[in-house]
Amino acid sequence: MPKFGNASTTRLATCHIDLQLIFNEVCKTVNCSIFCGYRAKESQEKAFIAGLSQVQFPNSKHNNFPSMAVDAGPYFPELKNTDWDDAIAFASFHGYVKRVAEELLKAGRISHTIRWGGDWDSDGRTSDETFKDLPHFELVKV
Ligand SMILES: [Zn+2]
């Protein structure tokens, strides 16, 4: 069974309990990494300047504490990393995360759904998005 590394565990601990429950469940089946949870002001400004985020502090869901957003993706042991160019791998990962979130919601263990940065309007399409943030997942109130 895959297991989070120390960095992923520390980052996930800065996230809302619903994100922790979802990704701890996902991690049992899919080898994955947590790249970012909570972002304080300085890291948010850096992400904005680098074009990794479209909003400035405190307007990202990463700026809540605990964080209402998490950046995560599949981890490939043979690369000792994720494959940032493999959009299909991120999309496939999202499908699994979404399914796990739906099951936890149905079981009454979480109170949010998930919105993915590859499909902001959640219509199932990615080609209609102008800004894609493939590792980004955020909580949405039901
Ligand atoms: Zn994000």
CA 135 to ligand 1 center in whole angstroms = 7
- Asked whether residue 24 carries a pLDDT value surpassing 90, the answer given is yes
Q: What is the distance between the alpha carbons of residues 59 and 44, in angstroms, rounded to a whole number?
A: 9
Contact between residue 64 and residue 56 where contact means Cβ atoms under 8 Å apart: no
Residue 2 has pLDDT above 90, yes or no: no
Determine the distance separating the centroid of ligand 1 and the alpha carbon of 130, expressed in angstroms. 16
Average pLDDT over residues 64-93: 97
Handedness of CA 18, 21, 27, 30 (dihedral sign): negative
- The pTM score is 0.96
82 CA → ligand 1 middle, Å: 16
CA angle 51, 24, 107 (to 5 degrees): 110
The alpha carbon of 67 and the centre of ligand 1 are apart by a number of angstroms equal to 10
Position 10 scores a pLDDT of: 98
The pLDDT value given to residue 22: 98
pLDDT of the residue at 1: 79
24 alpha carbon to ligand 1 midpoint, in Å? 18
